[in-house]
Structure 1
Amino acid sequence: MDVDVSRIQLLTRALDQRADSADLSDRILEKCDLSRDKIAPPTTVYSAHQEALFVRYACDALQDITFAAKTGLQFSSSSSLTAYISKYSRDLRQVLENTSRFHGMIDPALQFCLRHAGNFAAVEADWKDASFARYHRRTEFLLFAGLARMRSLTQTNFFPIEIRFQHEVGENSAIFQKVAGCPVVFGAERIEIVLAPSSLDMPVPTYDSNLRAHLLEYGERVLAERRSPRQKLRAQVEGLITRSMPGTIIHANEAAANLGMSPRTFARRLRDEGTTYREIVDDLRCDLAQTFITNGMPLSEIAYSLGYADQPAFSTAFKRWTGQAPSAFRSRLDFSE
């Protein structure tokens, strides 16, 4: 599952500037099985999972939970077909309508739609591959980058009414609000950027009706010929588990039924991928637990969110996964020399 390489190029430059050295970026790129050569021209795409890991590791290494969001606000341009269609659109409404239609070309894990609800409009994001929902820093990067892109296209520094995320960041929410310059809500029902309806009428100065018509025609042909990437069963299972939270972890038989399989076939398919349902649950809980701790959530809330009866039960599991108690956990990786 590939995404536009311009994003990792931006993230790497931003990390170089923050660290005052290229060494940290090089180490994190290596952790993600990347290098500067691998993200340099003529490369145009790279793995969405590599992007998610890079963003996570960079925030951890800098001990700055807002690094991804801040870097997202620096995003201004892309060379993708979707970006060019937006560039030649008439106004922000057309930009967002085009994004809803064609965004899958540049990020197969996420889809956007423009929603009207009374006295506001919202750019709503939804997971096509819900296994990516665990990567909170990447989600923040993408939404803030989306806001930056809207500003770049309209050549205005407008502010949305609100930015909403489904995950929690505890007391860190105030820091994100300072970065955004507008209210940022965590633990919301949807992932979305809420706009005043008048924002949709903001013109795009680079509008060209003929170019837009040509690019739309080409985009429709690409969509018609394009095949959606087939998700591994593990990714589908992670999505089911993630959507069942907080507070509940669905049983294997229920997951199998949701995917239209018998329990026996379900177990065999997972075994063919080299895993089991229990391993997926443990891996996902371990990964989310570390993210939640980094987010600043209280341990009691983490225990509930991950489906544990109480905090001691969660602490015991966390120590089994990582070799340390949750209170001692500081960083997912050691980036020292």
Structure 2
Amino acid sequence: MKMLHTSMREINLRKLDLNLLVALDVLLTMEEVSAAAAKMCLTQSAMSHTLQRLREHFDDPLLVKGKGRMVKTPRAEALAAPLRRALLELQHAIQCDVEFVPATSRHCFHIATNDYGDWTLMPQLMARLAEQAPHVDVKISHFDPENSIVPLESGSIELVFCHPVKHAVGIQQETLFEEDFCCATRAQHPRIGRHLDLDTYLAQSHLRIAPRGGQRDLIDKTLARLGKQRRIALSTPNLSSAPVLLTNSDLVLTAPRRCVQAWQKLLPISLHEPPVALPGFTIAMIWHERFEHDPANLWLRAQMREICHLASNPAAPVLPTRAKADAPRPARLAK
């Protein structure tokens, strides 16, 4: 009986159209028939018919009406991630020998980063694309540190720029550079001259970037170890709003140096060395092993190495841009 059951399941799988699995992946992602139909360039009626065929094959409703939207059944929840991984593996297997030609490619890179990456990496990358790959597009997603691995595992994100993440099976990481902190104020701050000492620093009102809420950051913890405390006049989760807030107030912000240097190109902002020693942090690029040998991803990673190399060493010669060039690379993070 077991052999007969297995044989019947194999026959059913052979009879299942691959296009139905592609449609199921889109339906489970969108959780809406009309949106899935638009994604696949089908009519809503055709997509409804496809959903019915899938329900018959899996003997499960798959998507049912919920509050304001459709929701996945437990069977669909169990199918969603493995199906997505399988389709991506198949796609990359088919495309593995396809050469990436930057000048003519119409690829769209799906990248995840945060406000820091938006300021320090994306402008240089977009300038590089405009020069070398004018038809290539980029879609940036917000990087969620609490859910960092999931979009990499699913393949919905090709490359992440952020702090290193916890090690996980299939995840590759490579250091791009080390970052440190400086202090930023508006250019004509009335109480801060060329040198910012600790007493002057503590006497000011401060702007704090707190993306995860109100917990103390490393600056407050460093001050606390010295028995000191600063006044946080404004706390915001958004680094992107900081330069405008600084130029319209007398607030002091302790922020990543590369961000402040980027703001100085646009607004009258002064950079000061911090009055206390602060630990820095690492910025890495992170990808899933399925993209390890993907020609487009190899090219993108090579561009980011060169961009960061030039930013850290302005007088250094340009590195070769070929993905497999014998150029010195930042260290891979230990697995």
- Say which structure is richer in helix: 1
For the pair shown, the structure with the greater C-alpha radius of gyration is 2
- Say which structure is richer in strand: 2
| Interval containing the TM-score (normalised by the shorter chain) | under 0.3
Task: Provide the TM-score with structure 1 as the length reference.
Answer: 0.22
